[in-house]
A = this chain, B = another copy of it.
């Protein structure tokens, strides 16, 4: 099993602020897991009791709505942490985490992290920064949901995935989502998401081969109103 103190992944999240000794201690009690595509890491209401550090792969954080739809609230990639909120508030999770492709994660038990938060102010300040960033993102999502059309939101989602998660060598988006996932990010019916993607294709803004999507005209997407 890898050692936290040597792991490059920690560069990308607040764990980077832990001292070498703290990392060694955490390394001793962490557990590594492989999670297969589609597998649920934890459900709404689960007591998580720790945080996950994503070493590889992508997952979605979603929340079930009363109408049966599973709204995707955030996507998490390599380098990021999952479960900080529940860790801090000591409440059960309000979200479900589901792997979008095969993942490798490390699980660090709650008590260890809490101990470090109490002792290492740089670490807790870093986590504060992360949450402040998440909050800002959440604000933007709220505004988009409230004020923009499905067409605009879907265009922005494609751009976001393109810019945040990158593309394969052939230019297709590296994160593969079903049309239903797109609908659940945008907050619309699956048929509507399919329809709008088809329109984008007709307009030459994107090209698709099955689930693979390539953005052909990113400025065109940005221009959508």
Which residues in A have some Cβ–Cβ distance to B below 8 Å?
A: 63, 65-67, 69, 71, 73, 84-86, 88-89, 91, 94-95, 117-119, 121-122, 124-125, 127-129, 131-136, 138-143, 145-148, 186-188, 225
Contacts and interface: CB of A to CB of B under 8 A. Distances in A.
A89 B143 contact: no
A124 B135 contact: no
Task: Count the copies.
Answer: 2
Contacts of A148: 65-67
Contacts of A187: 142, 145-147
A135 B138 contact: yes
A140 B142 CA distance: 10
Contacts of A121: 117-119, 121, 124
Contacts of A119: 121
Contacts of A65: 143, 146-148
Given A66-B225, A94-B136, 7 more contacts: A63-B139, A85-B136, A118-B121, A121-B121, A121-B124, A128-B128, A131-B135
Given A142-B73, A145-B187, A147-B65, A88 B129 contact: yes
Nearest to A89: B132
Contacts of A140: 63, 94
A96 to B, nearest CB: 11
